Amino acid sequence: MQAIRVHECGGPEVMRLEELPDLQPGPGQVVVRVKAVGVNPVDTYIRAGIYAAPPLPFTPGFDAAGEVEAVGPGVNRVAPGQMVYTAGTLSGAYAQQALCEEAQVHPLPLGISPAQGASLGIPYGIAYRALFQRARALPGETVLIHGASGGVGTAAIQLARAAGLTVIGTGGTPRGRELVAQQGAHQVLDHRAPAYLEEVLELTRGRGVEVILEMLANVNLGKDLKVLAPGGRVVVIGSRGPVEIDPRDALSREAAILGALIFGATPGEYAGIHAALTAGLENGTLRPVIGQQLPLADAPRAHKKVMEPGAYGKIILVP
Ligand SMILES: NC(=O)c1ccc[n+]([C@@H]2O[C@H](COP(=O)([O-])OP(=O)(O)OC[C@H]3O[C@@H](n4cnc5c(N)ncnc54)[C@H](OP(=O)(O)O)[C@@H]3O)[C@@H](O)[C@H]2O)c1
């Protein structure tokens, strides 16, 4: 089978397509014939060596979808021939086959394409965790999804709408903002416009929002605290450097700054996330948006694209 391999950490060009022996499942393991791979920003941090990388050489990636090819002894949740998505793998997702623990694979509901399945694990997982396990968002509250045009943002809009929240979403391009509106945001703002956050206060009649999901905290956290309602919660999902805040903004609102990390979910929380996602896929409220599909060999190009401005749903690799 073919897989992308990283022999040394570095720029996107360190990823190369290679021929590897076919994978065999051990006890409690599943081999998935991968039809689509989700590209996440964290894959680029790991490839570059700025985030814990597995021992070299490795195959990158967490999110894939495809058909169960073989199962090891003791596996009973899935069977060969079944379509599944992965949320984590043992062998890496950027490949024609992925070896997984049984708990890492989840049946793909009918009508959900492999590309959509490969968009679920990290983006929908963290969007659910940030909204409901960390911020404990409630129906009737207003959420600002600060960076709503990408993989996590579009997932968060769909999850928040399905749960009865009012959604304000931001995008940095006209195309991205159109997507944010299509996905169900009640109000759409341009995070590149001057003073756009003042509109958050106008839209909430001066009160501010109860919840903010923050994709770029190093740019926005200080400003976020000023548009929070009393008792508001900012969840830091993405950050690429330090930032200055005025702690008085948190104090005066009794606000909370929370971190959210997909890898921080306990086994029980992880199971809860995927049960909720399955329900949303089955009842039609969750529909991942695919922006672009590239061949697996184009992984270096996909890594450049996922770090560029102008996000539009998910970037998918097709093995
Ligand atoms: N904590 C975790 O476990 C976890 C899990 C998944 C992702 N993340 C992180 O969350 C972030 C988003 O991930 P993703 O998969 O959605 O990436 P993505 O698809 O590349 O989307 C990035 C988003 O950030 C927006 N953005 C750019 N500049 C912004 C600004 N100044 N203010 C607000 N938003 C801005 C982009 O908007 P435009 O392109 O339209 O400007 C886009 O909506 C990344 O930093 C990623 O590493 C963390």
Q: What angle do CA 145, 291, 177 make, to 5 degrees?
A: 40
What is the chain's mean pLDDT, rounded? 98
CA of 126 to the centre of ligand 1 (A): 12
Pocket perturbation via mutation, ligand 1, pick of 43, 182, 215, 316 by most ligand atoms within 8 A of CB: 215
CA of 236 to the centre of ligand 1 (A): 11
Residue 52: the pLDDT is 85
**Residues in Cβ contact with 41 at an 8 Å cutoff, skipping those fewer than 6 apart:** 238, 306, 307
pLDDT at 224 over 90: yes
pLDDT tens, position by position, 52-63: 889 999 999 999
Residue 131: the pLDDT is 98
- Prior bond of 41 cis (ω within 30°): no
Whether the pTM exceeds 0.85: the reply is: yes
- What is the residue with the minimal CA distance to atom 12 of ligand 1? 215
CA of 231 to the centre of ligand 1 (A): 25
Residue 126: the pLDDT is 98
Q: What amino acid is encoded at 58 in this protein?
A: F
Give the Cα separation of 216 and 118 in Å (integer).
Answer: 23
Residue 53: the pLDDT is 85
Nearest partner of 87 among 107, 105, 108, 67, judged by Cα: 105
**Residues in Cβ contact with 160 at an 8 Å cutoff, skipping those fewer than 6 apart:** 131, 137, 143, 145, 167
pLDDT tens, position by position, 248-279: 999 999 999 999 999 999 999 999 999 999 99
Please state the rounded mean pLDDT for residues 296-319: 98
Six-digit token pair at 48? Answer: 């570059």
**Residues in Cβ contact with 268 at an 8 Å cutoff, skipping those fewer than 6 apart:** none
Pocket perturbation via mutation, ligand 1, pick of 128, 129, 152 by most ligand atoms within 8 A of CB: 152
**Residues in Cβ contact with 171 at an 8 Å cutoff, skipping those fewer than 6 apart:** 148, 149, 153, 177, 179, 180, 188, 190, 191, 311
Ligand 1 proximal residues by C-beta, below 6 Å: 40-42, 122-123, 126, 146-153, 170-173, 176, 191, 215-216, 219-220, 237-238, 260-262, 306, 309-311
pLDDT tens, position by position, 182-223: 999 999 999 999 999 999 999 999 999 999 999 999 999 999
CA of 123 to the centre of ligand 1 (A): 10
Could you tell me the pLDDT band of residue 181, with boundaries at 50, 70 and 90?
A: very high
pLDDT tens, position by position, 142-177: 999 999 999 999 999 999 999 999 999 999 999 999
Please state the rounded mean pLDDT for residues 81-91: 98
